[in-house]
Chains A and B, each alone.
Chain A
Amino acid sequence: MNLYIEWGRPKLKFLIIARKEIIDITRDRRTIIMMIVVPLFLIPVLIGTITKISFSQAKKASEKHLKVRFFGQEFAPDLFQAFINMDKVTMLNQIPEDSVESYIQNEYLDAAIYIDSDYQFQIDQNGQAKINIHFKGTDSFGITKDRINGVLKGFENQIVTKRMNRLNLKPEVVKAYNLTYKDVASKQEKFGKIAGGWFPYVFIIFGFMGAMYPAIDLGAGEKERGTLETILSSPASRLDIVLGKFLVVMLAAVLTAFIALAGMAIGIQSIPEIPPEMLVIINEVLSPKTIGLIMTLVLPVAAFFSAVLLGLSVYAKSFKEAQSIMAPLNIVIIFPAVIGTLPGIELNTITALIPVLNVSLASKDIIAGVMDPFLMTEVYVSLFGLAGLAIFWCVKWFNRESTIFRS
């Protein structure tokens, strides 16, 4: 049976328009790709690929066989022995000293250790032995430095213990504080503060992208096809037309954001490298209540995007012009969304008023479960106020003859 007839017969004209626009955009391949295919398939693939690559790189780095050149082994034979005893290491002592820098630079050698000739004297006299370590700092996981430091620290501790014993001193002499830390932050809070910023980032970006194509199609596309006159000469008022279109653009934005979330959930669940205990935390954090609360932020921000994009689209003469007007907006949206992911940026009375950034920060707090009622109210008032203003502007804009018939 025909979908159009099956849906019943709304009496309100803006609903008739919205129903027709839904049918129209769901038959548009570009909109479907942007709204469903990209968030539902691309996000899991991206998450999976990035995680797999980083896990395998980290594994590769931790299993790396270090190549070390040790100068002055005759001054510190026991330290040299400690390096030889180290796991996954090869001592390349035939490399001449003047070639060491270029070997490290070209990654044939991971590190060179230089022991001063007075090493043993300094150790015996309770002095400080000088050790120079050359390495290449572009090693993304800092694994070379960490492993060499590990050996040196272990050896240094042995020397210090011997010195303390010799001097008949207790460890407290050099360690005046006995520090114990108790972290009161819940796992949810920690996760929210660290990773929480990325969830709203995905909502915002995909919500915007999801609204963009329907907005272009329903505004500039209608002008380009010459169908605007058809609808303007119908009994529907301008308000009906703009409301009907606005609802559909907003629906597309919210759906895309929601599908993006589903995509993220699928992506996270399908990564075998994520430890099960971490998965439990993620599942607890992304509970229906949290998602529901985040969606209440997505709704006004989607309304804001939809009204602005529809207004701009109606102004544009063609699909192409609408695309070129809207493209720079991506940067405007991405910028505050990215700022929200930075550590140290918190929701306060000022940031709660900045659109997009406030969604990002408020979502972070929702995920962390540390919502401040006053700030959350400020965020909602700001978002709904802004969405209302954007809708008002869009309706006014749609009523302007110079916008509608701009050619």
Chain B
Amino acid sequence: MIQVQNLSKDFSLNRKQRKELGDEYKNTKTLRAVDNISFECQPGRIFGLLGPNGAGKTTTLRMVATMLKPTSGSITVSGFDSVTQGQNVREQIGFMTGQTALYDRLTPTEMVKYIADLHGMEKSAFQKRKDHLFQILDMHSFADRRISRLSTGMKQKTSIARTIIHDPQVMIFDEPTAGLDVMTSRAIMDLIRSCREEGKTVIFSTHRMGEVNQVCDDISIIYNGRLFYNNTLDQFKAEMTQATFEDEFIYRVGEA
């Protein structure tokens, strides 16, 4: 479970950044990327964090994954506080982005083993889990080939395997399908669904409304760092005034 309470994040701005942002930021020293947001992600449900580019989705997820420290507010992941118990939080999570984020000079086996070692997995547990994942992802044929020589699809499978090798209870997907083809995107969506079936807590950021409709149970919409919608997907559908999800999303963002 993830609980986010009154979360805010400010980034300090240097002179160059202030200039780039225009007159509005001429006299401010910080930029508020996330502004007092609260939400909850339940186990066995998929929570969609929606918003256009630059809305604050990645900053929020990086705070949940303890990469960034909140300026104010709190986050608990499986009961652990993200600031004071960062290592416990990281032991609970699997983090995946649209980039495959793999080490090109390692093989899939080595890549997965590296993450398993960092999670302190025992050798036998690792071997069993790796065999299982490589079997269901059909990775055995390229398990010992350098990642740099793999196709995009193979890389994405490796990325999935390294994300879930330690069987995390909380999954964080930050725009995991960005830039991927239809086939690879489908594999990711299947993974997200399977996480729900296994009772994991899933938080999934995207700006693709089609994907939201496919997998999400709960959604929040974030824009300019503020959360202005937080409810179930069914409720969102019931409240729709526009013809399509995409139109409704654009309409609501425009209203925000």
Contact = CB atoms under 8 A, between A and B. Distances in A.
- Whether A associates with B in a native complex is yes
A235 B87 contact: yes
B65 A233 contact: yes
A234 B67 CA distance: 10
Given A16-B114, A226-B101, A230-B101, A401 B69 contact: yes
B117 A9 contact: yes
Interface in B96-125: 97, 99-106, 109-110, 113-115, 117-120, 123
Contacts of B110: 2, 4, 20, 23
A234 B119 contact: yes
- For chain B, what secondary structure do more than half of its interface residues adopt (helix, strand, loop), or is it mixed? mixed
Interface in B48-90: 62, 65-69, 86-87, 90
A11 B67 CA distance: 23
Interface in B132-146: 144, 146
Interface of B: 11-12, 62, 65-69, 86-87, 90-91, 93, 95, 97, 99-106, 109-110, 113-115, 117-120, 123, 144, 146, 162, 172
A229 B118 contact: no
A234 to B, nearest CB: 4
Which 3 A-B pairs rank lowest in CB-CB distance, beginning with the nearest? Answer: A233-B95, A226-B99, A27-B105
B95 A235 contact: no
B63 to A, nearest CB: 10
Interface in A1-25: 2, 4-5, 9-11, 13, 16-17, 20, 23-24
Contact of B118 (A5, A24, A236, A404): A236
Interface in A160-209: none
Interface of A: 2, 4-5, 9-11, 13, 16-17, 20, 23-24, 27-28, 225-227, 229-237, 401-402, 404-405
B117 A230 contact: no
Counting chain A CB atoms within 10 Å of each CB, the highest count among B102, B114, B123, B172 belongs to B114
Given A16-B114, A24-B106, A235 B120 contact: yes
Nearest to A28: B105
B137 to A, nearest CB: 18
19 contacts: A4-B110, A10-B117, A20-B103, A23-B105, A23-B106, A24-B106, A226-B97, A226-B99, A226-B100, A227-B101, A227-B103, A229-B67, A230-B115, A233-B95, A234-B115, A235-B90, A237-B87, A401-B11, A402-B11
Given A9-B123, A23-B106, A229 B144 contact: no
Given A229-B67, A237-B87, 11 more contacts: A9-B123, A225-B102, A225-B103, A226-B101, A229-B62, A229-B101, A231-B118, A233-B66, A234-B118, A235-B90, A235-B120
Contacts of B162: 230
Contacts of A402: 11-12
Nearest to B110: A4
Contacts of A235: 87, 90-91, 118-120
A13 B105 contact: no
Contacts of A236: 118
Given A2-B109, A23-B106, A225 B118 contact: no
Contact of A233 (B67, B104, B105, B113): B67
